[in-house]
Structure 1
């Protein structure tokens, strides 16, 4: 049976209000009474009801983080950072997965309202602006990674235009002129801005944009796999591929393995968003790092200020940017340099394997 506050009060022979003040550390109760009530509550197995307490105090001590998936390593890092920061302040984090699906996002927002959350950090789909605006009247909200263009909610973004520009320019400086791009949906902030950085770098280098080298789609591995196949099957395939989101990278690596493509000897590969095994991979994968840890820390800072009735985000700033950086490893090589020589045995084995893979594909 559930032990209630009334049970604790009866066991201690005090009123329910005295027991409540003692166990919450509020009100005028002596230290001796507080210690005795705490001991009795522990012996009885009493656990406070956070929902009931939230109704009484107006605070649930619950903060939600709503992301699309945990396939993306950046979202994993963000969840770890947000949870650690909130836990240190006495909050519990509710981790919600929206699947980048507007209906699922809407249903989740409704559920979070029922749980009376104290704050929300959300990676929005961009399709539920009115619902977010309505919720923001009662709950402090910070958008992360993406902007919801239908709202004026405070937003923390990576410098995706600059990150994609740096990555594309790096490949151009290595001599690549046919650079494939696999990027996210163009109705999202990150998808649009990473494409814009890619186009800017091409334009500055005097390279014409070729739409056959650009593949946009949902943030899932299959987008990477489909895009990679289309690029490799072109009459003039690219000498380098820039995969501009983490989920798509997983699909690209699957296809290059299926087709026995040697990286970077046969194809230079540059990816977006870092994770530990990219550095351990052989060859180690060059990436544009979007600063997931810094993004999460800044989002928590902004949310906490908005949760503070004194500040509540009234500094006039609505959008913050975290710088992206290029990390050069071993998956990109100079295009005009001859590939490292392979042994006759390796060439024969590679040729047979490629033929077998091609037959399957």
Structure 2
């Protein structure tokens, strides 16, 4: 027990915790900072003392002593997008209880702007950066990571200070197209993502791979350009319908585009899935509540944000990191049905 009686309102100090746990104050400090290599018994004693005494460390003071700002920077591309919103939920949960706060900026899908935002975050002395997608070159990301560690999504990076997480878009799109093919569809329209976007190109590749495997000819006139937003899906399906081509299914390169496609079909009196089947890609939370609920490819967006945060904090602390991310999977709901 502590060797003096503390008043009810007097805060518990690090020295009190050290006395209670029977270790030195420096050991408690190093355990809190994640830099101590101590026995399991000592660590448990410190953790027990912290819990019983309800010790709340001064995170700012800890940061100043360790040379850290206790902030991380997050670069998103579109703050209003539900795609990034789901990932940010994972980031937020990953930071809970760590003492770290986040600073969020937007790159707006512009490589120069992304670079400018990263420089801004580095100037503010963040301890690390999470880069969610984007168009800045990998080489430039690695250069920035020489200053502070960076974890990036949508990229294949693996260095001591830069780690990337990249999902298999080709395989995910293949699963989507194959699902429609297995339901008997042969003429499958495809609404693309934006030009010069890697994810969009890979999803079109997966779509074409599934057609090729099933010996279905690829028809360029069944492909309509989109840009991953609802309005582009609406415009794309209108263009396809205006050509009066026959197709029984539509694969939209993401869920937002699929929402636009669904609206366009509804306005033309075309039923989903009775007349045309529809599948998206992402499995955004709202896709469960469309009318009818959208069949889609599930991306572990929340898990990606959570893992990116844990990985970045591991890089900051100099610890080994586990970069295993769940894969993509088909979520069959009510917008697809077997051909009759």
TM category, shorter = 0.7 to 0.9
Cα distance between partner residues in 1 of 2:80 and 2:259: 9
Partner of 1:203: 212
Cα pair distance change 1:79/1:64, threshold 3 Å: same
Q: Pick from 230, 239, 246: which aligns with 1:221?
A: 230
Q: Distance in 2 between matches of 1:148 and 1:103?
A: 20
CA RMSD after TM alignment: 3.2
| Deviation sequence 1:86-114 (CA, Å, 0-9, x none) | 12211112222222122332221121112
Q: Which residue of 2 aligns with 1:327?
A: 331
Is the counterpart of residue 134 in structure 1 residue 138 in structure 2? Answer: no
Q: Give deviations 1:59-82, integer Å, cap 9, x for gaps.
A: 111112222224443321110111
The answer (yes or no) to whether the contact 1:159–1:290 under 8 Å persists in 2 is no
State the Cα distance separating 1:248 from its structure 2 match.
2.0
1:152-195 deviations in Å (ceiling 9; x for gaps): 94211222222111110010111111111122235333222211
**What is the deviation of 1:57?**
4.3
Partner of 1:163: 172
Q: Distance in 2 between matches of 1:226 and 1:26?
A: 62
Partner of 1:178: 187
5+ residue gaps, structure 1 = 1-21, 32-47, 338-361
Superposition deviation, residue 270 in structure 1: 0.4
Structure with bigger gyration radius: 1
Gaps of 5+ in 2: 1-9, 20-57
Equivalent residue of 1:272, what SS? Answer: coil
- 2:290 aligned partner: 281
Q: Give the C-alpha shift of residue 30 in structure 1.
A: 11
Q: CA deviation at 1:49?
A: 11
- Pairwise CA distance, 1:302: 2.2
Matches within 5 A, 1:1-361: 57-147=66-156, 153-311=162-320, 322-335=326-339, 337=340
- Total equivalences in the alignment: 291
* TM-score, normalised relative to structure 1: 0.71
TM-score, normalization: structure 2? 0.75
